[in-house]
Structure 1
Amino acid sequence: MDADTTRTKPLSTREQEPIPLTARELDQQFPGVLDGISLLGGGANVILQLARPGVGYGVLESRVESGQIFRRPLKRTRTTLTYLAVALAGTNQEKQAYRQAVDEVHAQVYSTPQSPVQYNAFNHDLQLWVAACLYWGFADTWRQLRGEPDPATAGSFYQRAAALGTTLQVPPERWPSDLAAYQTYWQQALARIHIDPPVRAYLTDIAELKFLPTVFSRSLGPLNRFITAGFLPPQVREEMHFTWGEKQQKKFDRLISTVGLVNRCLPRVIRQLPFLVVLWDFRRRLRNGAPFI
């Protein structure tokens, strides 16, 4: 098997990554970066990740029934939020525990001879793309809701965000060395995206919240599709066949400006509540030996 698709020895996060910060400390150093309001961009981030065919078909053809959002939407949402919370605000030991749990699931995700594209969940290139999307989502919503951070703060958060990849199986040396290197990687990677019709239909249903009961998808789906489209890079929006113009952009900017203003007035615990809840639940499961995923 190619070296890029094999499991690697668990990384020594204590040696390779910055000293972990608590949710409170993260907010002190990077105000608002872990706010729950950033989840408004969650749908866009899912689309970004699945815009790489290897990831898109890997999710579309997944054998892991418990991880399928249309069958277990609450569990799928919980496990995703937990991963993000542990990667950014967990201890080294907690990251190692979650990495092992993710590995067990990823072992079931690989292409078959009938698959339109070849993929393997342990492929470092695909994992790096997923991690890069996760970083992009945090950085983009942070910027849009809080304003552009100064270069030093942005660079410091970028280095810490490497954990979004190393808590998977991305070796630290695969994470672009700095923000300039990341931007080069990002632009090159965006040029490789392509969304086939089956994946596009699946992602459109997610954007329109069709994994929720009908009463919610019909009432909130159009708004969520609009917000999702607003957070997408233009080329990905085009791949999704989402209509977007100056009128939609102005409406989106006003909405995000208002939401960001209200969010900044809230106490930290309320702002971070979704991540704090899943982090508490994860630690309870870890103590009790319960499954994480």
Structure 2
Amino acid sequence: MHSAGDPAPPPPGGVLWSLAGDIRGLLMLPAALTLQVAHPAVGAGVDDHSVFRTDPWGRGERSLRSLQLWVYGGEAAAEEGRRLRKLHRTIRGTDTRGRRYHALTPANYAWVHATGFPVYQHASRYLVRPLTRAQERALYREWLQVGRVLGLRDEDMPPTIEDFWPYYRTMLADEVEATTVVRELLAVDAPVPPPDRGPLTLRVALRAAWPLLLPPLARFRRFITVGLMPPDAREAIGLDWTPRQERRLRRFGAVVRVIVPLLPERLRYLPRARAARAAWRAGRGRQG
């Protein structure tokens, strides 16, 4: 139920509005997720309570739907934030360092959200274009607004981009590590069930071809996850990245930057983003 006091999602036409619904954002998500679970408490929570091993496609679909609501959901954004907080109330345990954790402890909850900003900032250089300083500041303000939608208090996150980077570097130095979940997400030989979403004929075809498709897909997922993770985060976790891989990523990014802008809007943007963009344009037209 919408409340008059609910925080609004980030503004239409902003930097995040352009990034989050673009299909290139799908390539950025694995890096952000992996950086999230590199925090011992977050990794332990996912290890103990998530269905990412048994239902990876369902979990991925639900996570993506949630992200789209935060940005493009309008009045539904705050309701989704409340739903997520309720979902995480029972997630608690002990992390790998012997510390008690709770998913909604502000430091843990804030880190899960915070990781999106440096990944968007870094990955955009390859897949979209380097953000200007003004765009980086705008993106951080908009990401803070998403945090409010998710129930973070202003004091839970660094208030400015200048405050964010010292916080981020401290987290890399003191907290992140190659947790069990990080290693599983980056493994190229981990068992992954075939996709169980989409038309029946497609699912049947994928199931038959899955033994051949999974190895190259797993290698690509690791490549794009490590490559689009900020280098300082990559180093803090202990992930190798060679000059040859960097050249491959730059070539891949150059191709993506040429092809994606040529796609029609129905292929370039995810459904909720596409609908929100159309509604926004229609509203501007009526105002004009």
1:188 aligned partner: 170
* TM alignment of 1:1-293, pairs within 5 A: 12-14=5-7, 20-21=11-12, 25-26=13-14, 31-62=18-49, 67-91=50-74, 93-111=75-93, 116-195=98-177, 198-205=180-187, 210-213=191-194, 214-215=210-211, 216-238=213-235, 241-273=238-270, 276=273
Alignment CA distance shift 1:186-1:240 (3 Å) = closer
Shift of 1:277: 7.9
What is the TM-score normalised by the length of structure 2?
0.77
Alignment CA distance shift 1:45-1:147 (3 Å) = same
> The residue matched to 1:160 in structure 2 has which SS?
helix
Encode CA deviations 1:116-163: one digit per residue, 9 max, x unaligned.
432101111111111111222233323322222232233222211113
AA in 1 matched with 2:79: A
Alignment CA distance shift 1:152-1:26 (3 Å) = closer
Alignment CA distance shift 1:107-1:223 (3 Å) = same
Q: Which runs of 5+ in 2 are unaligned?
A: 195-209, 277-288
Shift of 1:36: 1.4
Shift of 1:90: 1.9
Aligned length: 259
Alignment CA distance shift 1:199-1:120 (3 Å) = same
1:287 aligned partner: none
Structure 2 distance, partners of 1:11, 1:48, is: 34
Q: State whether residues 121 and 131 of structure 2, in contact with CA within 8 Å, keep that contact through their aligned partners in structure 1.
A: no
Q: State whether residues 52 and 193 of structure 1, in contact with CA within 8 Å, keep that contact through their aligned partners in structure 2.
A: yes
> The residue matched to 1:119 in structure 2 has which SS?
strand
What is the TM-score normalised by the length of structure 1?
0.76
Shift of 1:110: 0.3
Structure 2 distance, partners of 1:194, 1:113, is: 12
> The residue matched to 1:259 in structure 2 has which SS?
helix
Structure 2 distance, partners of 1:112, 1:149, is: 39
Q: State whether residues 38 and 177 of structure 2, in contact with CA within 8 Å, keep that contact through their aligned partners in structure 1.
A: yes
Q: State whether residues 209 and 217 of structure 1, in contact with CA within 8 Å, keep that contact through their aligned partners in structure 2.
A: no
Structure 1 distance, partners of 2:95, 2:68, is: 36
Structure 2 distance, partners of 1:57, 1:145, is: 31
AA in 1 matched with 2:167: Y
1:282 aligned partner: none
Shift of 1:100: 2.1
Encode CA deviations 1:43-72: one digit per residue, 9 max, x unaligned.
21111001110101111011xxxx512212
Shift of 1:32: 4.4
> The residue matched to 2:240 in structure 1 has which SS?
coil
Shift of 1:97: 1.3
AA in 2 matched with 1:105: L
